[in-house]
Amino acid sequence: MNKLEDDLPRIWDDYYYALGKFIHMFARTEDSLHAVAANFLSARFVARDVQDAFAIRAVMGPIGISAISDTLKRLLRVTKAPAPRQKDLAFVLNHLSVITTLRNRLAHNAGYPDLNNRGWFSTSNSTAIREIEKNNNLHFSTQMLLDAASDVELIANVVHGIMEPTWIHTPPPKPWNYDPAGVPAGYERLPSSAPKRTKQSPNQRWSVPTKSF
């Protein structure tokens, strides 16, 4: 038995902590995006009384993160929002889509520790595919989960600002905290939505401490 096997209880504890924070922040952001869409419609089209707001929520209903993202982008298109505003929203929601892929893989396929590299885990879709050619074994670290948690928390705030009537163009964050390309050589990875990290710090307006618990 190697040292990492001896430390498995601690390794799992670190993973559960990072996973729990990530899933919580993701769910909170998903809930926030529903509220943003409903508030956008209420403010623009009705806003007469609480019953109108209830009617909007009844029509929208509970939908997944991909559907609510499409709804938000569609709302800006049909209301003829300025192109920079639509571009900002698309940029932010594209990164959310990448994070959603990670969330879905962990929610449906789970993750398991790499006993050769402390802090690294993998998730396989082998039991959920019908064609063996589509099998992949993706790798991530506990720090990447915490980075993704920070990003989805930030995304909720950024989307809220973009959808506000008082929106003022401010460049979205580059680079993001979560970079799926940042895995060791030889590991399979998730697709990336953003440029690779550089030593340049993100715009402080958008930065959120990676380990702010």
Q: What is the per-residue pLDDT for 199?
A: 37
pTM check: above 0.85: no
The closest of 84, 104, 102 to 92, measured between CA atoms, is 84
Q: What is the pLDDT of residue 63?
A: 76
* Residues 154-169 as b or e (16 or more Cβ within 10 Å = b): bbbebbeebbeeebee
In a domain, 50, yes or no: yes
- Asked if the structure places residue 12 within a domain, the reply is yes
Range of the domain at 89: 3-163
Q: What value does the mean pLDDT take over residues 114-122?
A: 84
What average pLDDT score do residues 85-96 get?
A: 94
Length of the chain: 213
- According to the model, what pLDDT value does residue 100 have? 95
In-domain check, residue 172: no
Is 212 within a domain?
no
How far, in Å, CA of 143 to CA of 68, rounded? 28
In a domain, 168, yes or no: no
What is the domain count for the chain? Answer: 1
How far apart, in Å, are the Cα atoms of 159 and each of 94, 138, 154, 202?
12, 29, 9, 18
More confident call, 51 vs 37: 37
b/e burial code for range 19-32 (CB count within 10 A of at least 16 → b) = bebbbebbeebbeb
Task: With cut-offs at 50, 70 and 90, classify the pLDDT of residue 205.
Answer: very low
> Which of 127 and 37 is assigned the larger pLDDT?
37
Q: In this structure, is residue 56 part of a structural domain?
A: yes
- Domain membership of residue 137 (yes or no) is yes
pLDDT per position as a tens digit, 52-78: 666 776 776 667 889 999 999 999 999
**Has residue 206 been placed in a domain?**
no
Confidence at residue 44, expressed as pLDDT on a 0 to 100 scale: 73
